[in-house]
Amino acid sequence: MSKIEEQMQKASKTLATMLDYLGLDASLKTEEKGSKIALIVSSEDAGRIIGRKGQALENLQLLLNRMMLKTDEEFPKIMIDIDGYTRKERGGRSERGERGERGGRGERGERGERGERSERGADNEEMLKQQALDAAKEVKRWGDPVTLPPMNAHDRRIIHITLQEEVELQTESLGEGAKKSVVISLKK
């Protein structure tokens, strides 16, 4: 077995153990992506593994990289991909794979062609819908209410509409001013 195959196997086994300790079911696949190792994770608990704004995923990836580097200083960088969601290293921005790439902007945020706003608006809407569905799954699983970060009326409306068919859940806007939080909870 080559060194990279051993490293891929070690990274995969370590991540599987970490997820198991966290009580999360997931299936893992490893791929070599240039000088990096990509761990592709499929899970019903994707929302919990990714966390709010991708922070749980970012922390998991950081911890895994540090653990691997501690045992082997030449260990390749590890990227974790959960159901098409990955974290970029630069600035911690999220990158959507299969569900819709961020379109039209370069690295420095230049303006693209006309129509870019509507493309970004569609990306934002999909992201909000996914955030609502992930939060709903978490509420159903654990029974505790989830409070989403403060957002404008348009974004809150998308959350409410996305979850209106969920018979066991209720959504409520809380807060003062233009930006309010949406609380998703079980119906009483």
Residue 59: closest CA among 111, 15, 97: 15
Residues of the domain holding 125: 116-186
Q: Which residue has the higher pLDDT, 101 or 133?
A: 133
Q: Give the integer Cα–Cα distance in Å for 34 and 68.
A: 18
CA distance 144 to 44: 18
What pTM did the predictor assign?
Answer: 0.48
In this model, does residue 158 exceed pLDDT 90?
yes
Question: Looking at residue 150, which CATH number applies to its domain?
Answer: 3.30.1370.50
Sheet strands (E) in the chain: 27-33, 36-42, 78-82, 85-87, 94-96, 146-147, 169-174, 181-186
How high is the pLDDT of residue 185? 95
102: in domain: no
**Does the pLDDT at position 18 exceed 80?**
yes
Same domain, 75 and 152: no
Q: Tens digit of pLDDT for each residue in 38-75?
A: 999 988 888 888 888 888 888 999 999 999 999 888 89
Is the per-residue pLDDT at 102 higher than 80? Answer: no
60 & 124 share domain: no
Read off the pLDDT of each residue in 158-174 and give the average, rounded to a whole number: 94
104 has pLDDT over 70 = no
Same domain, 70 and 139: no
Domain holding 36: CATH number?
3.30.300.20
Are residue 90 and residue 28 in the same domain, yes or no?
A: yes
Separation CA 182–CA 184 (nearest Å)? 6
Q: Is residue 44 in a domain?
A: yes
- Same domain for 89 and 126: no
Per the domain annotation, does 83 fall within a domain? yes
Residue 90 has pLDDT above 80, yes or no: no
Tell me, rounded to whole angstroms, the distance of Cα 155 from its chain centroid: 18
Are the C-beta atoms of 11 and 22 separated by less than 8 Å? no
Q: Do 82 and 12 lie in a common domain?
A: yes
Residue appearing with tokens 């019903």: 44
Task: Looking at the structure, tell me whether residues 84 and 138 fall in a common domain.
Answer: no
The helix/strand/coil state of 111 is: coil
